[in-house]
Amino acid sequence: MSHLEIDGYSHLSSPIHRWDPRVKIVSMLVLIFSIVLLKSLAVALLGLAISIGLLLISRLPFAYVSQGIKWPALFLLPFPLILPLTMDGDMALTLYGLSFSVEGLEQGLLMMTRGLAAVVLIYPIFGSSPFNTTIHAMRSLGLPETVTQIFLFAYRYLFLLREQFTSMTRSLSSKGFTKKTDLPTARVLGAALGMLFIRSYERSDRIYKAMVSRGYNGHLPDSERFKINGFDLVKALMVLVLAFGLQGLDHLAVV
């Protein structure tokens, strides 16, 4: 449960950290979309290399990134493992009665490479500014105000609730509760979650009243002003060239 600190290294200094968050988000999203839509495995590997390159430029510690990438890698693994067995292909190879299709393997590896490249890019985008700054940047890019507020408040409450739930779990285990695959476990967890939700609900009443008493009327003041300079645009241009370059190469490679 320790992974809520995506912005734990946002205080570092790197060309990506110094990039205007709005320009960074837009250009990096274009790159993500360009990569997930590639059709050639070789170009997708190049895309993965570019993602890792951007990660290195961002100077985010590798240990912290690899810990987070573990899970999506696991979700993507079934594709290269199962598709060779289930897809038809010209170059099928038969071994002990099982037929492996090279096309299936290629397709599976392609999906895995695209997925990993996109996941790696999450770190330079969201790990290089404080999360609240990211949300404010998304607001100024056109995220509706209500949704922006829900993001900001939910993010703030996450830490409160996690603490509360950890203490509830501790209290349960001190009374001898251990999780098993059975109905009583479902009942205890269901009631514990019910309690968490009730406390949250009551707390949200108090929070709302406190906010109203400080002048909240459903709108947020514009607290962050962003300024774009020439360097921001140069970096954007470089990333966009990479994004469109990958698509161009992909067209050449597939034809």
Partner 1 sequence: MVHISDGVLPLEVLAAGFVLSGILLFLTLRGVRAEEIPRISLITAALFVASLVHFPVGPTSVHLIMNGLAGIILGKRAFVSVLVALTLQAIFFQHGGISVIGVNSLNMGIPALLAWQVFERRRGFGYPRREIVFGAVAGAVAVLGAVLLLSAELLLLGEGFSEIATLVLMAHIPIVIIEAAVLGTTAGYLDKVKPEMLVPAKAGQIRGA
CB of 152 to partner 1, least distance (A): 8
φ/ψ (deg, to 5) at 94: -110, 135
Give the range of 55-63, 91-99, 155-163, 241-249 binding partner 1 by CB under 8 A: 155-163
The whole-angstrom separation of Cα 159 and Cα 139 is 22
Partner residues linked to 93 by β-bridges: 100
Map the footprint of partner 1 across residues 56-85, applying CB under 8 A.
68-69, 71-72, 75-76, 78-79, 82-83, 85
DSSP 8-state secondary structure symbol assigned to residue 100: E
What does the alpha-carbon distance between residue 112 and residue 98 come to, in Å, rounded to a whole number? Answer: 23
Which of 133/200 has CB closer to partner 1?
Answer: 200
Question: How many H-runs (helices) and E-runs (strands) does the chain carry?
Answer: 9, 2
SS3 percent helix, strand, coil of the chain, rounded to 5, is: 70, 0, 25
Of residues 192-221, those binding partner 1 (CB under 8 A): 193-198, 200-201, 203-205, 207-209, 211, 216-218
Q: Is 233 in the site for partner 1 (CB under 8 A)?
A: no
Shortest distance (Å) from residue 133 CB to partner 1: 13
Site for partner 1 in 87-146 (CB under 8 A): 87-88, 104, 107, 110-119, 122, 125-126, 131, 144, 146
Cβ contact 11:61 at 8 Å = no
CB within 8 Å of 52: residues ≥ 6 apart: 120
Q: Is 48 exposed, middle or buried (0-12, 13-18, 19+ CB in 10 A)?
A: buried
- Among 13, 86, 94, 174, indicate the residue that binds partner 1 (CB under 8 A): 86
The nearer residue to partner 1, 206 or 227, going by C-beta atoms, is 206
Q: How far is the CB of 196 from partner 1 (least distance, A)?
A: 6
For partner 1, which is the closer residue by CB, 220 or 234? 220
User: Does 43 engage in binding with partner 1 (CB under 8 A)?
Assistant: no
Q: How far is the CB of 91 from partner 1 (least distance, A)?
A: 14
